[in-house]
Amino acid sequence: MLVGFPLGTDPILITEYSVVFSAIALPLTYISILIVSNDLQYMGNYVNGKAMNFGGTVYLGVILAASLAAIPLMIITGAGA
């Protein structure tokens, strides 16, 4: 425990948990970006093509796998302990 930090909490542990939970939320934000980037009415000439949709879907799979693995890995490693 660090001296002078309020409530006796460990700031490193709080940071590790916040990073894990932000990794879990990342696919939700990314899906909304994919949906908007495919909306012809909103994006006009800048709408995604097939290659960009394929790349975006692959990237979504990567971040989805990372977010699904985040909590089990945090538990297995004891949050980096």
**Looking at the domain assignment, is residue 1 inside a domain?**
no
> What total number of domains does the chain contain?
1
What is the rounded distance in angstroms from the CA atom of residue 64 to the CA atom of residue 61?
5
The domain containing residue 34 runs over which residues? 9-77
pLDDT attached to residue 5: 60
The pTM assigned to this predicted structure is 0.74
pLDDT digits (tens, 9 = 90+) for 68-79: 998 888 888 887
**Looking at the domain assignment, is residue 3 inside a domain?**
no
Helix axes 50-77, 11-37, angle to 10 degrees: 160
Positive/negative CA dihedral, 5, 11, 13, 18? positive
**Looking at the domain assignment, is residue 57 inside a domain?**
yes
**Looking at the domain assignment, is residue 44 inside a domain?**
yes
pLDDT digits (tens, 9 = 90+) for 13-67: 888 888 888 988 999 999 999 999 999 999 999 999 999 999 999 999 999 999 9
